[in-house]
């Protein structure tokens, strides 16, 4: 009898498991249908983002995995050409050999090496700040706004700073440019502070929002220094003046400025003469500083494991507290030695001479002037990000593909990366492009633009 009961129980269990699998299979099938429909909508809208596979090192000329050779690369954040600079590569190899492939640990347990401390000191010195803290990427440095930090200025004013997923308290306020990088926006969404969004670089709107925010205890204005999609530069002088008038702090994301904006490449605050008025800077090791990693085109210090790199620099009490409380710092493995070696050498090269940055600026001007003369509209001003504004998403995609057929590697950007109706092909100039590279790019744009009706 007990055997019969056991058999019935076993059969019942098997039947139940079969029903569970069937239900699970139906849910999976429903999910698949929904996903495939959404993907088809993306294809139909002409906004599908293909990934081209590169079979060579990053640089002005590439070889693609499908056999394409001699491709001129105009879509990397490699502004100074340091991703393939021989001294930067040599520094990475030396760090790898001396300090190993990685730490297999977080910083406070057993993941801090002398090269980490040396690089943090060098970053603080470069930006002329008190201290700096390394992160896995700038995205997480921006997304980690989970700390409300209070410290005192020389005037004994109590200040509070949000950082990353950090939560300013509900008593505080953060004011953000509407076109800030996704990492800043995501950090603000997670923040418990009162949120204000001002129109892009509109100082009248910012002042109105600051007036409205006076009812809150503390105020923080957050902005990209250079906006990655439009190539324009934040009006930091005016922002800092308003911040001083309304007792606010200023935070800038310098991912698309560090290394080449300003007389010594220190960024937007140096370019506009307000280094002493900006409280906090986030930036990345993944663009001009050797391209180790970081957020994509995207304005910050902490995203792409296993090797990445970004940082926050500012007042020492803030940095000290981040070491104690910042979750991405406390729960992420240390930066690999090779990444640290690359960035350290890149900073050495920048502090020795600004010749590379000057070369990039001249080539940027060459491209912008020639494209404007050809009849294209180029967004931004004097920045190596040169968005060729087209408006139509499908046109941007088709033109970018046709450019590749002519040996020019560029990418079309459309919604949701940029607002609807503002599709563009983003061109990025590097110091290692030759004048011939730039002229060939302009010629290809002119031919493709006429072919597809973007030019008369």
The residues carrying an active-site annotation are 228, 256, 287
Strands 249-253 and 280-284: parallel
Spatial contact of 300 and 187, defined as CB atoms under 8 Å apart: no
Which two tokens mark 435?
Answer: 């004048």
Angle at CA of residue 381, ends 377 and 383, nearest 5°:
110
Phi, psi of 317 (to 5 degrees): -60, -35
Which two tokens mark 218?
Answer: 């503390």
163 conformational bin, left if phi > 0, alpha if psi -120 to 50, beta if neither: beta
Judged on CB neighbours under 10 Å (0-12, 13-18, 19+), 455 is: middle
Residue given tokens 């934040």 in the structure block: 234
Cα dist. 150→184, 270, 276, 317, 323 in Å?
21, 26, 19, 8, 15
Q: Which of 384, 389, 356 is nearest to 368 (CA)?
A: 384
Length of the chain: 456
Indicate the DSSP class of residue 44. H
Could you tell me which residues come within 8 angstroms of residue 166 by beta carbon, excluding any fewer than 6 positions away?
144, 145, 146, 147, 148, 187, 190, 191, 326
- Nearest-angstrom CA–CA distance, 249 and 434: 41
Chain centroid, CA 279 distance in Å: 20
Per-position b or e across 349-379, b if 16+ CB within 10 A of its CB: bbeeebebbebbbebbebbbebbeeeebebb
User: What are the beta bridge partners of residue 389?
Assistant: 424
User: What are the beta bridge partners of residue 15?
Assistant: none
């Amino acid at each position: 009898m007990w055997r019969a009961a056991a058999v019935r129980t076993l059969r019942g269990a098997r039947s139940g498991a079969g029903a569970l699998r069937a239900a699970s299979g139906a849910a999976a099938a429903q999910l698949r249908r929904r996903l495939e429909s959404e993907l088809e909508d993306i294809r139909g809208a002409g906004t599908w983002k293909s990934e081209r596979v590169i079979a060579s090192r990053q640089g002005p000329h590439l070889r693609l995995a499908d056999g394409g050779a001699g491709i001129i690369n105009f879509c990397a954040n490699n502004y100074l050409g340091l991703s393939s600079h021989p001294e930067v590569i040599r520094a990475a190899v030396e760090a790898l050999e001396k300090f190993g492939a990685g730490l297999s640990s977080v910083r406070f347990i057993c993941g801090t090496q002398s090269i980490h401390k040396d690089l943090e000191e060098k970053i603080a010195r470069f930006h002329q700040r008190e201290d700096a803290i390394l992160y896995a990427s700038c995205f997480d440095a921006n997304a980690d706004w989970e700390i409300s930090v209070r410290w005192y200025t020389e005037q004994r004013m109590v200040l509070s700073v949000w950082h990353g997923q950090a939560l300013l308290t509900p008593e505080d306020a953060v004011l953000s440019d509407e076109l800030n990088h996704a990492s800043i926006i995501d950090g603000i969404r997670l923040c418990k502070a009162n949120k204000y969004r001002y129109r892009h670089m509109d100082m009248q709107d910012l002042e109105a929002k600051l007036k409205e925010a006076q009812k809150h205890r503390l105020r923080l204005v957050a902005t990209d220094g250079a906006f990655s999609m439009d190539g324009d530069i934040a009006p930091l002088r005016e922002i800092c003046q308003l911040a001083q008038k309304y007792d606010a702090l200023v935070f800038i994301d310098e991912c698309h400025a560090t290394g080449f904006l300003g007389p010594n490449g220190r960024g937007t605050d140096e370019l506009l003469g307000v280094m002493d008025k900006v409280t906090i800077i986030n930036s990345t090791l993944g663009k001009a500083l050797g391209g180790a990693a970081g957020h994509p085109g995207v304005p910050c210090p902490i995203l792409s494991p296993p090797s990445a790199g970004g940082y926050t620099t500012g007042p020492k009490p803030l940095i000290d507290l981040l070491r104690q409380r910042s979750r991405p710092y406390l729960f992420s493995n240390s930066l690999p030695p090779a990444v640290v070696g690359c960035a350290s050498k890149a900073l050495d090269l920048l502090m020795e001479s600004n010749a590379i940055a000057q070369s990039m600026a001249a080539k940027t001007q060459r491209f912008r002037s020639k494209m404007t003369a050809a009849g294209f509209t180029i967004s931004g001003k004097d920045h190596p990000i040169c968005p060729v504004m087209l408006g139509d998403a499908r046109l941007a995609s088709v033109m970018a593909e046709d450019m590749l057929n002519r040996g020019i590697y560029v990418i079309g950007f459309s919604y949701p990366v940029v607002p609807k109706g503002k599709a563009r092909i983003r061109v990025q100039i590097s110091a290692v492009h030759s004048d011939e590279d730039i002229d060939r790019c302009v010629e290809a744009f002119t031919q493709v633009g006429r072919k597809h009706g973007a030019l008369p």
